[in-house]
Amino acid sequence: MTSELPPGRGHHDMGGLLAGRVEPVEHDYAEWERRVDALRLLLSGIKGGRTLMTVDELRKNIEALPPDAYERMSYYERWVTSITQTMIQRGVITTDELGRKMEQIEKRGRR
Amino acid sequence: MSARFKPGDRVRVRKAYPLGHIRTPFYIRGHGGVVERLCGAFGNPEELAQMRSGEPKQPLYRVRFLQTDVWPAYRGNPGDVLEIEIFQHWLE
Amino acid sequence: MKDSGDYQPYSYFQLMEVSLRELLVEKGIVTEAQVASAVEDIRNITPERGARVVAKAWVDKDFRTRLLKDGTSACEELGLDIPALKLVVVENTAAVHNMIVCTLCSCYPRMLLGMPPEWYKSRNYRSRAVREPRAVLSEFGLHLNEKTIIRVHDSTADMRYLVLPMRPASTADWGEDQLASIVTRDCMIGVATPRAPRAVKPS
């Protein structure tokens, strides 16, 4: 569905492309989405958090998502993925730590 | 880094398409406009995205473009404008 | 952290959020209390904050001048906590209408207005707002006079934008609270204008 972009144009860089009608959709934020936003603020050094990433790294990691993933994922799914990638890139957490924690939590079920 | 441009200066956005994290939109590259204001000096997002310091801070300008200059088939008031923040190193 | 609501298995991304948060807490990088407090702050940031700023600018000419000169300082004058926000306020006039977009992602004055609407982050808005603003505005039901100049701002860097809409003439004797009540989020993005309901004559 996404038309071929010229090489050197990022998928996120969509100003001026042809597109459809703007649907005035609203979104009721889920708690987990607010928590993603909270983590973003804190990790950016806002609201008393330690500065462990910049918004630029966050954007870069969102832009690095494959086009179909970018389209398919919701806004906060992209953000949580990007924040987590940034933490791995920064060495704050490792891939192994994340994998083990995700396994552990999944086994535990909802608290 | 000192500011090369001032409000009222005619500038052109460089026609370059490098890799990395870039905040100069594709659609404006190669187009000419007028500096509306100097916003200040800010860390270079291209470098900050790569976990580097982004220093020295770069002058950031608001540049005003005529819509009719940017879009070949623009329909609207010929005075309609587009204003974009662009870092100095993207302007010539 | 208690999570109210129905009990369903985590989606992959919800699992990631919980995992990331727990790891960060274990490592002493954040505390659950900090996250909870930030979530509450986020919940309490609504467009009403921006509406207050607009209403004040409508009634106080000097404040308006300061707001247009330095948006962040003027908001701070009103006691608004807007960390890291570099605000530029652009005023609508009879001749010029302003509209805000972020084509590259979804930059928005979050610390002032709260979370941006879904449509603001959508492909269709981000693609078309810079190229055919009039068509997009008419999809929102805003039909501007042909003589009006449209000024579209693409927030590509560090500044964030707020539209200062025109005050409807029929509100001449309104107080600030009443004025704020007609300034919607969409007015401050620039896809709507404030509507003053017709005055109801007392019987």
List pLDDT tens digits, range C119-171: 999 999 999 999 999 999 999 999 999 999 999 999 999 999 999 999 999 99
pTM of the model: 0.94
Does residue C69 sit in the same domain as residue C106?
A: yes
> What average pLDDT is seen over chain C?
93
pLDDT band at C73 (very low <50, low <70, confident <90, very high): very high
One domain, residues C62 and C135 = yes
For A18-72, the pLDDT digits (tens) are 999 999 988 888 999 999 999 999 999 999 999 999 999 999 999 999 999 999 9
pLDDT for res A1: 45
Mean pLDDT of B26-47: 97
Taking the domains of chain A in order of start, what are their residue ranges?
31-108
Please state, in angstroms and rounded to a whole number, the distance separating the CA atoms of residues C79 and B31.
Answer: 41
Confirm whether C203 is domain-assigned: no
Question: Do C68 and C144 share a structural domain?
Answer: yes
- Among this protein's residues, is C107 annotated catalytic? yes
The CATH number assigned to the domain holding C129 equals 3.90.330.10
Task: Tell me the CA end-to-end span of chain B in Å, nearest whole number.
Answer: 16
> Which residues span the domain enclosing C32?
12-43
Statement: residue B48 has pLDDT above 50? yes
Same domain, C57 and C117: yes
Q: For chain B, which domains are there?
A: 10-90 (2.30.30.50)
**Distance between CA atoms of residues C47 and C99, nearest Å:** 16
Q: What are C20-30's pLDDT values in tens digits?
A: 999 999 999 99
Q: Are residues C109 and C173 in the same domain?
A: yes
In a domain, C61, yes or no: yes
Question: How does A37-50 read in b/e, with b if 16+ C-beta sit within 10 Å?
Answer: bbbbbbbbebbebe
Q: Does C142 touch chain B if contact means CB atoms closer than 8 Å?
A: no
Residues C168 and C98 in one domain: yes
Per-residue pLDDT band at C201 (split at 50, 70, 90): very low
Total number of domains in chain C = 2
Query: Which of C75, C107, C155, C187 does the annotation list as catalytic?
Result: C107
Whether residue C27 is found in the same domain as residue C109:
no
Q: Is the peptide bond before B56 cis (omega within 30 degrees of 0)?
A: yes
Average pLDDT over residues C97-101: 98
- When pLDDT is cut at 50, 70 and 90, the band that residue C189 belongs to is very high
Model pLDDT for residues C42-71, shown as the tens digit of each residue: 999 999 999 999 999 999 999 999 999 999
Distance from CA of B82 to the nearest CA of C (A): 5
A19 neighbourhood in chain C, CB within 8 Å: 123-124, 127-128
Give domain status of residue C7, yes or no: no
> Is the pLDDT reported for residue C180 higher than 50?
yes
Residue C59 lies in a domain: yes
Name the A residues in 20-59 with CB < 8 Å from any B CB: 54, 56-57, 59
Q: Is residue C198 part of a domain?
A: no
Catalytic site includes residue C106:
yes
Across-strand partners of C161? C88
Query: Are both C148 and C98 inside the same structural domain?
Result: yes
Domain A31-108, second-level architecture: Orthogonal Bundle (1.10)
CA–chain centroid gap for B58, Å, is 12
Contacts of A100 by beta carbon, 8 Å cutoff, 6+ apart: none
Q: Taking a C-beta distance cutoff of 8 angstroms, is the pair C102, C154 a contact?
A: yes
Q: Which of C19, C73, C105, C127 is catalytic?
A: C105
In angstroms, what separates the C-alpha of B79 from chain C's closest C-alpha? 6
C-beta separation of C90 from C151 below 8 A: yes
Cβ of residue B61 closer than 8 Å to a chain C Cβ: no
Does one domain contain both C74 and C121? yes
